[in-house]
Structure 1
Amino acid sequence: MSHEVTTRASEPAEVPVHETEEQILARVRGKARQVRLRTWGLRLALIVLWLGSWELTATKWIDPFFYSKPSLIWERLIEWFTEGTQFGSIWLQIYTTVQEAVLGFVIGTVAGVVLGVLLGRSRYWSDVLAPFIKALNAVPRIVLASLFIIWFGLGLSSKVATVVVLVFFAVFFNAFTGAREVDGNVINNARILGAGRRQVLVSIVLPSATTWILSSLHTAFGFALIGAVVGEYAGASKGLGLLISNAQGTFDSAGIYAGMIVITVIALLAEGLIGVAESKLLRWRPSQASASQAV
């Protein structure tokens, strides 16, 4: 026993390995890459499992005329992008819907931010206008889409108006809350230093509400696409909503799913662009991790 203890004591101790900064960064990046690969692999497996089970079920047990199946939807997409649709090129339909969504999104966002911030800083006017804003927000959007078609016709204007209504309220309430959440002590200190009402609004209120406003844009663009499609569904001469409406009228379930997929891809691309813009606009804001380290 004593000989074993002596032998172990005589063994040289392990020398700790000191990693360089480059090695630590490479190890962290490697682990992050592995996590991303596992995440995307799991996502892909879930999609394959879902589509495979749908294809098998529609082939063996349920009627594909009503429920369609992935192979039929893929064939419809290939047909649209190679041969076109009944109403012209699929790219024309995509361009029409995206144009309506983007125009309404921009107008609704600007109006929502301006009115939200102004009313958020004016308690008197917010109290006066609150019942009217809530009443307008409670009106069903499909009813407004029908009215806009009567007022503005089947063209671009009626679809943009529908999109503006949907986007405005999504942005307005976030901008309103963001303006209300500004620290009053910061505003008071700025006024003591001689800042005017406009300077406080531009230099303090808007930057503080930026996070609230940008977070609403992700949802708002989804609403913009919904508004464009709803407007086209109610009445239009072109657009993705018209394709879906026509597919419904002809009992083409594959066409309905194909239209939904195209709209989903557009929404995901827009979501990515908004995310990039958000990360750049909020680059000035310190992260939670750095803030906690500073404390």
Structure 2
Amino acid sequence: MRGLPPRIVYIAGYGHSGSTLLNIILGQHPDAMGAGELFRLAGPAWRSGELCSCGEPLQSCPVWREIVRRWEGEAGSGAMAAYRELQAICESRRPWQPRRADRDAYGRLSLGLFAAIREVTGKPVIVDSSKLPARAAALARVPGLDLRVLHLVRDGRGVAWSLRRRMAKDLQAGLQAAKRQRSALRTGLMWMLANLATERTARGLAPGRAMRLRYETLVAEPVESLTRVGELAGLDMRGLAASLAAGGSLAPGHVMAGNRLRMAGTLSLRADSEWQRLLPAGQRRLIEGLCLPVMRRYGYPPLAGAS
């Protein structure tokens, strides 16, 4: 694999849209490493000893410990700190462009990280579910990287319902910090901005290097959905898709960062649509008022007959 550019399937969009689930699904393929939210590796995940989905802190996990050892062995012992600083520059939403030297250094360290993951795991495809559109845009500018962007969207009303839940910090369950309730107004605005930014990045890629997938379609039609994702990633997903459609379970593997699904041990594919019953009507109307043109484009019309 050394002669080939690292192939990255980058799951982009807004949070609480099923990115951890999709990362775990793709990581079941023997040629894919479901890595998780890689943007966090050089920051809080490694420094604070967040848990890998195998149950070990990242610094003790045999896979991630070896990945970081190889990465720093090639790039130098300060690679982690340097990458963290360069991410703040190159993955930001600032209106100005980073300096050429910063872009080049960011590209070298990104390539080094992906190469270390590929060498340690022996898997040619790496799934990064960082979601951040700005990171997708930064990686798209790295020469020598085979980037495929998978724009994952979920109905903004479902996202708003998910973000209404408060959760206490629970490291063993994969919650690195307490989850506070988010307002429907903030969720609607951020949902729209993140998805529009992802669209813009996807349009800048070569044909066949980006696709959009709805969370709702993934859980309702896994075979068709994963066949399309496989075409994007260059993976034959038909056998895995058939297994999931038949009720097969998922093993999270070595996913770093992401939601609590990754700590579940095993999980299965199922829809989460309780927002249709439980989201307050006022918040639903607020989301629809803010986001309806984008929602319609993604196939999310107002609820029929809803008051």
Query: TM-score category by the smaller chain?
Result: under 0.3
The two structures have a TM-score, normalised by structure 2, of 0.21
* Larger relative contact order, structure 1 or 2 (CA cutoff 8 Å, min sep 6): 2
> Which has the larger share of strand?
2
